[in-house]
Structure 1
Amino acid sequence: MFPFLMRIQAAWLCIALVVSTTLIGVAQSRKDSIDAFINQQMRDGHIPGLQLAIIRNGHIDQLSAYGLANVEYQIKTTNQSVFSINSMTKAFVGVAIMQLAEQEKLRIDDPIGQYMDSLPTAWQSLTIKQLLTNTSGLPNIIDQYEHVLGQGQEQTAWTEVKALPIEFKPGERFSYNQTGYVILGKIIHRLSGVPFTQFIEDNQFKVVGMNLTRFGDSGDVIPNSAGGYTRVKNINGKWLSRDEKDPLGVAFIEFPVFFRTAAGILSTAQDMAHWLIALQSGKLLKKKESVEALWTPARLANGQVGGFNELTNGYALGWPTVTREEHPAVAPVGGFRSSLFVYPQDDLSIVVLTNLQGANPEWFIDEIAGYYMPDMHKANGFGLSSSLKTLRTELLKKGFANAIPIAKTLQQKNASFHLKEDQLNGWAYYLASEKKTQEALAIFKLTVALYPQSANAYDSLGEAYATVGNKAAAIQHYKRSLELDATNQNAANQITRLNKTP
């Protein structure tokens, strides 16, 4: 019997080794694919430095650093490089408020007048939840250039903002607002007995062991600082891209201490990963329902959720949300440069910190998640509306060249089938970015067929024809775009350029 048992054990050992080797191979292949994807995003977006942390099943599955923390001195990014996380700070404020709620020092539905004196009458009945979710209607304590009022002086800023009127009836809509977070900082201070920065440091940074995380801004000397660069500039209150010939500028960030509940934390992807693990494991909030409340988007008076855009389309207690049927997420974003996505249903979290204002990693984090859940890759149709997914399925069967008749047939068969212009246009540009030029051209043609009075649709089709080298068709469609919109300077410029091209 003994030799037989030895053979059985040896067989199981071989199987275990094969399985282990296979899993290691899969993990390494996935890491290589993610690294290649990140490097491509950095090249395309001129991102100097980036940190990535991926948390899977309560553990850090990948921790990587890419590019340069400092461009001037060509200093490489490491896992110890410290990045400003800007408005992602609000997520820490949400946790702090829920910690006070668990201590029974407040309730999120309490009016703020219960905890603060000398507030304007119209402010007193606003709730803590409305401040956290940016649904309060408060006037903003920053101006159109994103400068703090009163030249950053607390008393002056506070006096100026209190003199401004309420912007809308509380709960009616979402409007991103920094004033509410300044007030939340004051409430945390009053109820805890210590400055809000110390409360967050003591009850989050120190509890988790976030040794490289701190409050600060460009005015501070930050060891291992990744600095800040920008591809955008604020002109008359509008954010515009810098010249492609000189895409990078130095970004200077200044957050007065009283303003640092709105934006003021610097951290690393590794520290942020440990913070997320602690939050989800009950180390920061003891009650599961506290985390659920933290991540539940506010409902407006009309029953809808409101957020920044079609991706981060909701807002919870300091946490923007990606409210959708497939792979919903909570997704703090900061400074157009950094973001993290937590996918609660998938036990997956991804942190991306960069030193570039304008990197907007929230727009490519889902694609990183796709290396764990393949249905999340754009190439597999993730992110498309249900109607676009139906169309895509039919096109893959019958060919993109038949897009127009296929779409019309689907419309006739199903009254709820509807293709929005912006969604079609976005999908076409994605196909073009993937070098699927003929498929992209077919979708641009379909967009024009469905929206024949859209100058933008003709402009995009003109661009597609120019890309495939059909100069005559490109000029024709740019001219039609100009007929529909005489102010379309891009179309006029492209016609001039194409006419000069041999």
Structure 2
Amino acid sequence: MTGSSVYTIYDSPMKTSKTRQFYCGNIYFFLLPCLVLSTRIVQAQTSAAKVTGLLKAEMQTRHIPGLQLVVIRHRQIVLTQELGLASLEFKVPVSSGTLFSINSIAKVFTGTAVMQLEEQGKLKLDDPISCYLNDLPATWELVTIRQLLSHTSGLPDIEDDRTDGLVGNKGEGTAWEVVKTLPLTSRPGEKFNYIATNYLLAQRIIERLTGQPFENYIRMTQWKPAGLRKTVYGNSGDVTPQKSPTYTYYQLDRDKGERVPTKTLRQVNEIFPMSYRADAGVFSTATEMAHWLLALENGKLLKRRSIKTMWTPVGLNNGNYDGFDPPFNAYTLGWPVAVRKKHPAIAPIGGGRAVIINYPDDDLSVILFTNLSGCSPEVIAEKIAAVYLNSQ
């Protein structure tokens, strides 16, 4: 009904009772969507206020200098927030354009690239890597592409935990020759072992099949279709506009080969070799990664069946799953997984400072980037997700 027709129910005494009921019913159905929309706006404002309070409390407790947040609900961005400082030294506030180091989240681009090649018929996930690469030790030849991407290959690590560098303590060429002489850590498919060697080999396979440098292929087939303009590959020391330093309260104990907490805040200096970019080395914003995730879920990058394959946990030879600490107790093709009955999640985590948690069953995603390594962003992101899950 038009606005003038509605008003006539008050102006014309000649209308019958039945007609009055008809018009009143139309008013009801006109007002109902408005009431629903108003309720949703109030709920969104309430959720946003809760999230802001939660973030400020977590930043204070965990001493996080700055962060970006994006929440996606029903494939729409429903909340973006930027809090704190991108640079403590120069007191530069975080903006929507601040670039954060997302480290191992870069593996999601690799997994997606492999699935794109699978869709094109250029590879099969369960093919041995020896079908695509030469110059491999005989013990490596039966390892499959799926085992590389899920870190169940059993291969030795090309990185040295005790030096925070590459094995051989020299360059990439030396490290490659050294790692090939090392024994397998387990039979392929027997254990989960999170190592850089797996994604080094995945990058070589992608480059061989596409005939392109890895970075260029990712830019053209994923970043460009998703509208990513600021996201870059690089190192901590690269001069890039609006790039935040990464800070930490941890330092490497070379005797133990592990990071230990300290009371002194320092900058993290990370170098990601060119041949290891499938493993790490991306700087992005939470908003740009939200656009990438939406492009993925909306079918711009992969078909639905490929996404399902990419997000399906990879089991070990004995049928069990393995992964990081709970709740992320399994791993798939570039994505850690929380296998659980309520709110299962796929959650790539980068450098202990950045996380993307996607809840497929709940149509919810939380993207949280910080500039403090070791602040457990996945724990904070799960708390943020609970705000929305509890408001359903």
How far, CA to CA, are the matches of 2:262 and 2:213 in structure 1?
A: 39
CA positional deviation for 1:165: 1.1
CA positional deviation for 1:33: 0.3
Matches within 5 A, 1:50-449: 50-145=67-162, 146-151=164-169, 153-236=171-254, 237-243=257-263, 246=264, 248-286=265-303, 288-374=304-390
CA contact (8 A) 1:85 1:267 kept: yes
Query: 1:269 is aligned with what amino acid?
Result: A
CA positional deviation for 1:126: 0.7
CA contact (8 A) 1:229 1:251 kept: yes
CA positional deviation for 1:16: 3.7
How many residues end up aligned between the 2 structures? 372
Query: 1:294 is aligned with what amino acid?
Result: M
How far, CA to CA, are the matches of 2:129 and 2:101 in structure 1?
A: 29
**TM-score under structure 2 length normalisation:** 0.91
How far, CA to CA, are the matches of 1:289 and 1:8 in structure 2?
A: 45
CA positional deviation for 1:298: 1.1
How far, CA to CA, are the matches of 1:10 and 1:167 in structure 2?
A: 71
CA positional deviation for 1:38: 0.8
CA contact (8 A) 1:49 1:226 kept: no
CA positional deviation for 1:176: 0.6
Q: Which has the higher strand share?
A: 2
How far, CA to CA, are the matches of 1:191 and 1:90 in structure 2?
A: 18
In structure 2, the residue matched to 1:433 is: none
How far, CA to CA, are the matches of 1:298 and 1:134 in structure 2?
A: 9
How far, CA to CA, are the matches of 1:314 and 1:115 in structure 2?
A: 27
In structure 2, the residue matched to 1:500 is: none
CA positional deviation for 1:21: 2.3
CA positional deviation for 1:148: 2.4
CA contact (8 A) 2:166 2:172 kept: no
Render the CA deviation track for 1:182-201: whole Å, top value 9, x for unaligned. 01111100000101111111
**TM-score under structure 1 length normalisation:** 0.72
Q: Which moved more, 1:231-240 or 1:366-375?
A: 366-375
Distance 1:299 1:11, change over 3 A: closer
Distance 1:214 1:263, change over 3 A: same
CA contact (8 A) 2:236 2:270 kept: yes
How far, CA to CA, are the matches of 1:19 and 1:39 in structure 2?
A: 30
CA positional deviation for 1:157: 1.4
Query: 1:48 is aligned with what amino acid?
Result: P
Render the CA deviation track for 1:42-93: whole Å, top value 9, x for unaligned. 1100011111111111111111111111110111001110011101111110
CA contact (8 A) 1:152 1:256 kept: no
User: Which 5+ residue runs of structure 1 have no aligned equivalent?
Assistant: 377-502
| Structure 1 SS opposite 2:259 | strand
| Structure 2 SS opposite 1:239 | strand
Render the CA deviation track for 1:206-265: whole Å, top value 9, x for unaligned. 11011111111113111110111012111121221112xx3x211111111111111111
Render the CA deviation track for 1:425-452: whole Å, top value 9, x for unaligned. xxxxxxxxxxxxxxxxxxxxxxxxxxxx
Query: 1:25 is aligned with what amino acid?
Result: V
CA positional deviation for 1:12: 4.3
In structure 2, the residue matched to 1:392 is: none
Render the CA deviation track for 1:96-155: whole Å, top value 9, x for unaligned. 000010010000101011111111111111100111010111110100143123456221
How far, CA to CA, are the matches of 2:128 and 2:313 in structure 1?
A: 19
Q: CA RMSD in A?
A: 1.7
CA contact (8 A) 2:67 2:369 kept: yes
Distance 1:209 1:150, change over 3 A: farther
Structure of higher RCO (CA pairs closer than 8 Å, 6+ residues apart): 2
Q: Which moved more, 1:231-240 or 1:50-59?
A: 231-240
CA positional deviation for 1:23: 1.7
CA positional deviation for 1:15: 4.0
| Structure 2 SS opposite 1:371 | helix
Q: Which has the higher helix share?
A: 1
Give me the identity figure in percent: 41
User: Which 5+ residue runs of structure 2 have no aligned equivalent?
Assistant: 10-19
